[in-house]
Amino acid sequence: MGVAVDPADAWHLGSFSARAANEPDAHVEAELFELTITGDPVPAAEIEEMIWLNPDLATGMVLAPLTADIVLPRYGRRP
């Protein structure tokens, strides 16, 4: 995705599971980290599209369950 991450600056927020967005009866597993990136992210591999998202303005957007129910509620709220 064209970014660099310093593992020493990554804060592990937890392990999570959610219903898959586009596959009935499937679940996704995620390790969630808060971190600072260096570089400009660009879509690559299986990522077709990226947007910058302000969690406070995401109301009404169609998002995957993992993003809507787990990622956004934790954004910027490190334990």
pLDDT > 60? residue 8:
yes
pLDDT > 70? residue 78:
no
- Predicted confidence band at 37 (pLDDT cuts at 50, 70, 90)? confident
Q: Write down the pLDDT at residue 50.
A: 86
**Contact criterion met (CB below 8 Å) for 13 and 33:** yes
Residues 56, 73: Cα–Cα separation, whole Å: 10
- Predicted confidence band at 26 (pLDDT cuts at 50, 70, 90)? very high
**In terms of residue numbers, what domain contains 55?**
4-74
Q: Is residue 79 part of a domain?
A: no
Q: Residue 14: helix, strand or coil by DSSP? A: strand
Q: Structure pTM?
A: 0.72
pLDDT > 90? residue 30:
yes
Number of domains in the chain: 1
